[in-house]
């Protein structure tokens, strides 16, 4: 990522939102991938909310979602947006400002 | 999303930040789209965002339909199959290819086809459910349930059917039906059984020896069994619907029943009462149990009473009580120690001990109950001994008797104890009864007796050894006496021998003198003297030749004497015969010498005077025992007889003087008379001296 802001402190609490389209293949993959990463790197300090934009179309509008699946880091600030099935672990960790062990 | 940016100088730093972020987000979205990582794009429209999926949005639903276990099929109104899933094809046992485009109808049995068509026609908006059979490729049929609905918004009517395989359910239904059938049969059987049982109970109740009655809340009889008539004399029928008072029974009895029946109704607690009734068979005692009967809400609606005649049992109990009292009086008043104990490891548990036991050990009566022996401070050495015997008694399962010594309260006592197992001994039953008697006095006398016995034995032993000693001394003395007696005998023999020798010397001296003398008178006198001395010497000779030193067998002496005199007088008398008639008589020396001299004189006289012509003759000598323990000596010849003027008693001749002197010595007298053959017979009867040996 070209632009670096100061990294969030260790142990800060993560609030994540994943926007998916029903049980479509990449959405399903994205759910399982992000869950695995959170469980491993953010044990006991994250909150993950999965939102189906079929059922809540207006939520997509509010967040200006362009594609699904999309992950939004609500906290810690600044907000971050990741799009895709979250299968590239290195990218996901970088996007969440987490370091690989 | 607006991309028209104001000039950099004119906008704030924060605005640039926002724009930068938006750009990044857009780049990220584009990257993901390029890499095929998204399912859908969201495009905002006037009436809300529209979602465009990048692949068939129904993919997941198709997968669902394809992979589900229910059969799914879409058909046209005439039954043509547009689509079916794998499960449906499996249901029919055919491949999907042969089914799609074909008609469903041939797979439905003819009998059901019309119903199916009618069902399809009738469906409009609402779905329908119905059971059909399907014909499989192997001609077997499968029961299925069709859930049919019409697909909406299609230009021609298309029907969607979900087919559920009912084979398993049908099987279960069959099993259930069978099971229900079985159950029904069982219920019927049980009902019949119950009816039978009820009849049995009814008959039991009717014939019970107890009085069974049921009362309602008004205490009226609902039921009473026939037994009541035998006791009260009132038929059972009369009881129904009446209370005890209404039946006119004893008021006291009525009150008793009333109290307890009401109690059961009010509290629901069973009651037991005891009462007596003067029946026709005499006074009977009853024990009645009154129990409540509840309805479904738990309220007592009636009570049941069962009264059993306990007259015999109660009287037996009374008798038992009486006999127990008798036993108890023995137990309590006995001076013998008695009780019941239980053997526990290392100790003895006292169940009950009689007053004598407590008194013996100085304990208050009844204080030992349930205590362990060590708690009671009974003498420890006694406990160990008793415990051992108790153990042995249980092992042998036999009564055991033993004596126990104990020191208690400064006294020494002996107890004679007998223990007996109570019942069959086992792990759980280790109870024993004991009976103990104070045998101290008995033991003391036994002990005293033993001491005196010991002493007596000792005295006996001492005496015995003394007797032994004395016997030995006496034996020694006896031997000494014997030896000295023998010595004396030898000496006596020696004396007799010497006397004989001396007499013989004298006799020889006389014979020598005789040889020198030519005078016939002197010659005769000397010869007579020599004969006299010789006869004495012969006595002594015979004495030392035999073992008897004081007695002489006079018969053998007379023989010896006779042969000597025959020889001595052979110069003047030949042809003399003699006859000796003698008993075997032993004479003591005191008697023998005078007797021998008398015999010598008498025989010599016969030789000298009886046969003057020397023509021969006969002598008869008798030596006999007479009746009165006297002895007779007689010498008889057959010679010329006595001269007429002979007075031998006053004769002064030496021969007669000697004879008279010797006869006096024997306290006797000579008797002279004519012999039977014409000669002379001289007889002497004398009494032998005391120590004569016949």
The 3-class secondary structure across B113-171, one letter per residue, is HHHHHHHHHHCCCCCEEEEEEEECCCCCEEEEEEEEEECCCCCCCEEEEEEEECHHHHH
**pLDDT computed for residue B634 by the predictor:** 93
- Report chain B residues whose CB lies below 8 A from the CB of A1: 24
Dihedral sign from CA coordinates of B499, B500, B503, B508: negative
**pLDDT computed for residue B369 by the predictor:** 86
Residue to mutate among B24, B42, B53, with most A CBs inside 10 A, is B42
Q: Is the model's pLDDT at B624 over the cut of 80?
A: yes
The model's confidence at residue B41, banded by pLDDT at 50, 70 and 90, is confident
Strand partners, B289: B272, B306
H/E segment holding residue A17: strand A14-20
Question: Is A5 in the B-facing interface, judged by CB distances under 8 Å?
Answer: no
Q: Which of B412, B447, B452, B417 is nearest to B432 (CA)?
A: B417
* B49: nearest CB among A57, A78, A79: A57
Q: Which two tokens stand for residue B248?
A: 């006119």
How far does the CA of residue A59 sit from the closest CA of chain B (Å)? Answer: 10
* A26: nearest CB among B20, B21, B38: B38
d(CA A74, CA A58): 18
Dihedral pair phi/psi, residue B302, rounded to 5°:
-155, 165
Contact between B135 and B160 under an 8 Å Cβ cutoff? The reply is no
- In this structure, of B263-272, B329-338, B386-395, B429-438, the range with the lowest mean pLDDT score is B329-338
| Distances in whole angstroms, Cα of residue A46 to Cα of each of A16, A60, A81, B513, B600 | 7, 22, 16, 193, 184
**pLDDT computed for residue B207 by the predictor:** 83
| Residue whose tokens read 């607690």 | B269
Highest-pLDDT range among B9-23, B79-93, B336-350, B465-479: B465-479
Contact between B372 and B352 under an 8 Å Cβ cutoff? The reply is no
**pLDDT computed for residue B1 by the predictor:** 43
**pLDDT computed for residue B185 by the predictor:** 92
User: Chains A, B: CB contacts under 8 A, how many?
Assistant: 87
pLDDT higher at B521 or B557: B557
**pLDDT computed for residue B36 by the predictor:** 79
Q: Mind giving me the DSSP string for B495-507? A: HHHHHHHHHHHHH
How far does the CA of residue B56 sit from the closest CA of chain A (Å)? Answer: 10
d(CA B56, CA B40): 10
| Distances in whole angstroms, Cα of residue B111 to Cα of each of B106, B195, B238 | 11, 49, 73
Q: What is the DSSP letter of B687?
A: P
The model's confidence at residue B233, banded by pLDDT at 50, 70 and 90, is confident
pLDDT higher at A63 or B242: B242
**pLDDT computed for residue B582 by the predictor:** 92
Q: Which two tokens stand for residue B496?
A: 């007799």
- Return averaged pLDDT per consecutive 10 residues of chain A, 101 residues in all: 51 87 81 88 87 80 83 86 87 83 68
The radius of gyration of chain B from alpha carbons, rounded to an integer in Å, stands at 81
- Report chain B residues whose CB lies below 8 A from the CB of A96: none
Mean of all residue pLDDT scores within chain B: 85
Contact between B454 and B443 under an 8 Å Cβ cutoff? The reply is no
How far does the CA of residue B297 sit from the closest CA of chain A (Å)? Answer: 56
- The average pLDDT across B86-92 equals 88
- The average pLDDT across B358-379 equals 85
**pLDDT computed for residue B94 by the predictor:** 87
d(CA A47, CA A31): 13
d(CA B159, CA B79): 9
Contact between B166 and B152 under an 8 Å Cβ cutoff? The reply is no
H/E segment holding residue B477: helix B440-516
Question: Is B35 in the A-facing interface, judged by CB distances under 8 Å?
Answer: yes
Count of CB atoms situated within 10 Å of the CB of B412: 11
pLDDT higher at B693 or B336: B336
Q: Which of B393, B334, B389 is nearest to B360 (CA)?
A: B334
Half-sphere exposure of B577 (CA within 13 A, CB side): 4
| Residue whose tokens read 């129990």 | B291
| Distances in whole angstroms, Cα of residue B647 to Cα of each of A58, B19, B651 | 217, 226, 6
* B39: nearest CB among A27, A57, A79: A27
d(CA B683, CA B599): 10
Question: For residue B672, what are the contacts with CB-CB under 8 A and spacing of at least 6?
Answer: B642, B648, B680, B681, B682
| Model confidence pLDDT, tens digit, residues B456-512 | 999 999 999 999 999 999 999 999 999 888 888 888 888 888 888 888 888 888 888
Q: Which of B117, B145, B142 is nearest to B131 (CA)?
A: B145
Contact between A37 and A71 under an 8 Å Cβ cutoff? The reply is no
d(CA A41, CA A62): 29
Give CA B428 to chain center in angstroms.
Answer: 20
d(CA B260, CA B471): 105
3-class DSSP state for residue B680?
strand
The model's confidence at residue B2, banded by pLDDT at 50, 70 and 90, is very low
Backbone torsion region of residue B609, taken as left when φ is above 0, otherwise alpha when ψ lies between -120 and 50, otherwise beta:
alpha
- Residue B191: burial class (beta carbons within 10 Å; 0-12, 13-18, 19+): exposed
Contact A70 B55 (CB under 8 A): no
Q: What percent of chain B has pLDDT over 90?
A: 16
d(CA B80, CA B82): 6
Q: Which residue of A has its CA nearest to B23?
A: A81
**pLDDT computed for residue B468 by the predictor:** 94
**pLDDT computed for residue B466 by the predictor:** 94
- Report chain A residues whose CB lies below 8 A from the CB of B51: 21, 53-54, 57, 60, 68
Question: Is B32 in the A-facing interface, judged by CB distances under 8 Å?
Answer: yes
3-class DSSP state for residue B54?
coil
Dihedral sign from CA coordinates of B174, B176, B181, B186: positive
The model's confidence at residue B427, banded by pLDDT at 50, 70 and 90, is confident
**pLDDT computed for residue B562 by the predictor:** 92
Contact A66 B60 (CB under 8 A): no
The model's confidence at residue B648, banded by pLDDT at 50, 70 and 90, is low
| Residue whose tokens read 């160990």 | B384
Q: What percent of chain B has pLDDT over 70?
A: 95
Q: Which residue of A has its CA nearest to B46?
A: A61
d(CA B652, CA B51): 218
C-alpha angle B433-B435-B441 in degrees, rounded to nearest 5:
160
- Residue B577: burial class (beta carbons within 10 Å; 0-12, 13-18, 19+): exposed
Question: For residue B222, what are the contacts with CB-CB under 8 A and spacing of at least 6?
Answer: B214, B215, B216, B240, B302
**pLDDT computed for residue B621 by the predictor:** 93
Question: Is B28 in the A-facing interface, judged by CB distances under 8 Å?
Answer: yes
Q: Is the model's pLDDT at B676 over the cut of 60?
A: yes
Question: For residue B431, what are the contacts with CB-CB under 8 A and spacing of at least 6?
Answer: B340, B341, B342, B343, B351, B421, B422, B423
Contact between A71 and B37 under an 8 Å Cβ cutoff? The reply is no
Contact between B264 and B303 under an 8 Å Cβ cutoff? The reply is yes
Contact between B106 and B93 under an 8 Å Cβ cutoff? The reply is no
* A67: nearest CB among B32, B59, B60: B32
- In this structure, of B439-443, B452-456, B517-521, the range with the lowest mean pLDDT score is B517-521
| Distances in whole angstroms, Cα of residue B652 to Cα of each of B444, B644, B658 | 98, 17, 10
**pLDDT computed for residue B443 by the predictor:** 87
Q: Which of B568, B546, B569 is nearest to B556 (CA)?
A: B546
* B53: nearest CB among A3, A24, A69: A24
Question: For residue B5, what are the contacts with CB-CB under 8 A and spacing of at least 6?
Answer: B11, B19
* B35: nearest CB among A60, A61, A84: A84
Q: Which two tokens stand for residue A56?
A: 């809540």
């Amino acid at each position: 990522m070209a632009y670096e802001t100061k990294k969030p402190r260790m142990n800060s609490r993560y609030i994540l939102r994943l926007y998916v389209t029903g049980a479509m293949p990449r959405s399903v993959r994205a759910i399982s991938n992000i869950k695995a990463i959170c469980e491993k790197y953010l044990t006991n300090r994250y909150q993950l909310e999965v939102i189906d934009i079929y059922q809540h179309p207006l939520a997509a509008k509010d967040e200006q979602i362009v594609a699904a699946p999309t992950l939004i880091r609500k906290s810690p600030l600044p907000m971050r947006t990741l799009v895709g099935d979250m299968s590239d672990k290195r990218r996901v960790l970088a996007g969440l400002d987490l370091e690989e062990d | 999303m607006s991309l028209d940016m104001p000039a950099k100088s004119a906008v704030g730093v924060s605005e640039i930040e926002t724009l930068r972020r938006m750009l990044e987000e857009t780049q990220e979205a584009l990257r993901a789209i390029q890499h095929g990582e998204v399912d859908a794009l969201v495009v905002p429209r006037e009436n809300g965002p529209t979602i465009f999926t990048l692949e068939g949005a129904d993919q997941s639903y198709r997968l669902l339909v394809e992979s589900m276990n229910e059969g799914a099929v879409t058909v046209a109104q005439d039954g043509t199959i547009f689509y079916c899933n794998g499960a449906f094809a499996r249901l029919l046992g055919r491949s999907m290819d042969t089914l799609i485009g074909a008609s469903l109808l041939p797979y439905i049995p003819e009998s059901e086809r019309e119903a199916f068509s009618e069902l399809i026609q009738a469906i409009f908006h609402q779905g329908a459910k119905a059971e059909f059979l399907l014909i499989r490729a192997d001609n077997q049929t499968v029961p299925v349930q069709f859930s049919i609905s019409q697909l909406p918004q299609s230009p021609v009517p298309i029907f969607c059917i979900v087919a559920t395989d009912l084979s398993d359910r049908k099987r279960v239904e069959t099993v259930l039906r069978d099971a229900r059938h079985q159950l029904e049969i069982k219920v019927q059987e049980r009902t019949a059984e119950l009816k039978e049982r009820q009849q049995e109970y009814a008959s039991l109740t009717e014939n019970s020896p107890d009085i069974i009655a049921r009362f309602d809340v008004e205490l009226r009889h609902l039921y009473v069994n026939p037994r009541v008539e035998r006791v009260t004399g009132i038929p059972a029928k009369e009881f129904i619907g009446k209370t005890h008072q209404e039946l006119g029974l004893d008021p006291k009895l009525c009150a008793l029943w009333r109290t307890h029946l009401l109690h059961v109704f009010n509290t629901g607690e069973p009651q037991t009462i005891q009462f007596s009734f003067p029946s026709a068979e005499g006074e009977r005692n009853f024990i009645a149990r009154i129990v409540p009967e509840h309805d479904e809400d738990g309220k007592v609606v009636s009570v049941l009473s069962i009264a059993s005649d306990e007259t015999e049992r109660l009287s037996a109990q009374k008798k038992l009580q009486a006999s127990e009292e008798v036993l108890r009086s023995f137990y309590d008043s006995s001076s013998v120690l008695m009780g019941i104990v239980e053997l526990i490891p290392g100790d003895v548990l006292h169940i009950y001990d009689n007053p004598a036991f407590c008194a013996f050990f100085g304990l208050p009566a009844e204080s030992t109950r349930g205590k362990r022996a060590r708690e009671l401070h009974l003498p420890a050495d006694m406990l160990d001994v008793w415990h051992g015997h108790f153990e042995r008694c249980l092992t042998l399962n036999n009564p055991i008797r033993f004596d126990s010594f104990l020191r208690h309260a400064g006294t020494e006592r002996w107890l004679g104890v007998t223990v007996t197992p109570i019942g069959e001994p086992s792990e759980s039953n280790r109870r024993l009864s004991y009976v103990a008697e104070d045998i101290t006095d008995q033991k003391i006398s036994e002990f005293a007796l033993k001491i005196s016995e010991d002493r007596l034995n000792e005295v006996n032993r001492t005496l015995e050894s003394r007797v032994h000693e004395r016997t030995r001394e006496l034996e020694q003395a006896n031997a000494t006496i014997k030896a000295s007696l023998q010595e004396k005998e030898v000496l006596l023999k020696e004396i007799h021998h010497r006397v004989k020798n001396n007499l013989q010397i004298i006799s020889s001296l006389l014979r020598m003198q005789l040889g020198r003398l030519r005078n016939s008178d002197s010659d005769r006198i000397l010869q007579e003297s020599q004969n006299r001395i010789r006869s004495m010497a012969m006595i002594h000779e015979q004495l030392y030749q035999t073992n008897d030193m004081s007695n002489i067998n006079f018969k053998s002496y007379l023989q010896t004497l006779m042969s000597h005199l025959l020889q001595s007088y052979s110069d003047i008398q030949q042809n003399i015969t003699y006859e000796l008639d003698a008993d075997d008589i032993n004479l003591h020396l005191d008697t023998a010498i005078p007797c021998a001299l008398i015999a010598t004189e008498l025989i010599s006289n016969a030789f000298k005077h009886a046969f003057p012509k020397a023509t021969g003759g006969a002598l008869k000598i008798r030596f006999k025992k007479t009746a009165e323990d006297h002895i007779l000596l007689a010498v008889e010849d057959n010679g010329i007889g006595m001269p007429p003027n002979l007075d031998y008693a006053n004769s002064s001749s030496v021969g007669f003087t000697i004879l008279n002197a010797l006869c006096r010595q024997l306290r006797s007298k000579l008797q002279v008379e004519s012999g039977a053959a014409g000669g002379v017979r001289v007889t002497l009867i004398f009494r032998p001296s005391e120590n004569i040996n016949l």
